Amino acid sequence: MRNPLSKQIVEIQPSGIRKFFDIVSEMEDAISLGVGEPDFDTPWHIRDEGIYSLEKGRTFYTSNAGLKELKVEICNYLERKYNLKYDYNSETIVTVGGSEAIDVALRAMLDPGDEVLIPQPSYVSYEPCAILAGGKPVIIELKEENEFRLTAEQLENAITEKTKILILPFPNNPTGSIMSKTDLEAIAKVVIDHDIFVLSDEIYSELTYGEEKHVPVATIPGMQERTITINGFSKAYAMTGWRLGYACGPKEIISQMIKIHQFAIMCAPTTSQYAAVEALKNGDGDVETMREEYDGRRRYLLHRLNKMGLPTFEAKGAFYVFPCIKHLNMTSDEFAEKLLRTAKVAVVPGTAFGRCGEGFLRISYAYSLDDLREALDRIEVFLNDLNAGKVK
Amino acid sequence: MREKILTFIEKNSRIDLEELAIILGVDKITVMNELEAMESEHIICGYHTLINWEKAGVERVTALIEVRVTPQRGMGFDKFAERIVNYPEVDSVYLISGGFDFMVTLSGKTLREVSSFVSDKLSPLETVLSTKTNFILKKYKDHGTVMGEPTKDERMKIVP
A49 domain-assigned: no
Closest Cβ opposite residue B158 in set A20, A296, A353: A20
A139 — pLDDT class (breaks 50, 70, 90): very high
How do beta strands A245-248 and A92-95 pair? antiparallel
CA-based nearest distance B4→chain A, Å: 9
Of A330, A362, A340, the closest CA to residue A349 belongs to A362
Q: What is the pLDDT of residue A20?
A: 80
Residue ranges per structural domain of chain B:
2-40, 53-138
Q: Which residues of B touch A (CB under 8 A)?
A: 8, 19, 22-25, 153, 155-160
Q: What is the pLDDT of residues B145-157, one digit of tens each?
A: 888 888 888 898 8
Which residue type occupies A53?
Answer: S
A53 domain-assigned: no
Percent of chain B with pLDDT over 90: 74
Q: What is the pLDDT of residues B108-142, one digit of tens each?
A: 889 999 999 999 999 999 899 999 999 999 999 99
Of A312, A316, A293, A287, the closest CA to residue A301 belongs to A312
Percent of chain A with pLDDT over 70: 100
Residues of B within 8 A of A352 (CB-CB) are 160
> Using the beta-carbon criterion (under 8 Å), do A369 and B159 form an inter-chain contact?
no
CA-based nearest distance A69→chain B, Å: 31
Q: What is the pLDDT of residue A13?
A: 86
Q: What is the pLDDT of residues A329-356, one digit of tens each?
A: 999 999 999 999 999 999 999 999 999 9
Give the pLDDT mean for A174-192. 98
For residue A63, pLDDT beyond 80: yes
Q: A36: which residues sit within 8 A by CB, 6+ positions away?
A: A173, A320, A364, A366, B159, B160
A86 domain-assigned: yes
Give the span between the Cα atoms of A220 and A114, in whole angstroms. 25
Q: What is the CATH number of domain B53-138?
A: 3.30.70.920
Q: What is the pLDDT of residues A358-380, one digit of tens each?
A: 999 999 999 999 999 999 999 99
> Using the beta-carbon criterion (under 8 Å), do A21 and B158 form an inter-chain contact?
yes
> Using the beta-carbon criterion (under 8 Å), do B23 and A296 form an inter-chain contact?
yes
Give the pLDDT mean for A257-275. 98
Domain endpoint, select from A283, A311, A344: A283
A21 — pLDDT class (breaks 50, 70, 90): confident
Which residue spans within chain A are E strands per DSSP? Answer: 31-32, 92-95, 115-120, 136-141, 163-168, 197-201, 227-232, 245-248, 320-321, 345-346, 348-349, 361-364
Give the pLDDT mean for B19-32. 96
Q: Locate the chain B residue with the closest alpha carbon to A350.
A: B160
Q: What does the mean pLDDT of chain A come to?
A: 96
More confident residue, A74 or B109: A74
Residues of B within 8 A of A297 (CB-CB) are 23
Q: What is the CATH number of the domain that holds A380?
A: 3.90.1150.10
For residue B27, pLDDT beyond 90: yes
Same domain assignment for residues A25 and A66: no
Q: Which residues pair with A232 in a beta bridge?
A: A245
> Using the beta-carbon criterion (under 8 Å), do A369 and B23 form an inter-chain contact?
yes
Of A132, A42, A92, the closest CA to residue A268 belongs to A92
CA-based nearest distance B57→chain A, Å: 27
CA-based nearest distance B27→chain A, Å: 13
Domain endpoint, select from A262, A283, A304: A283
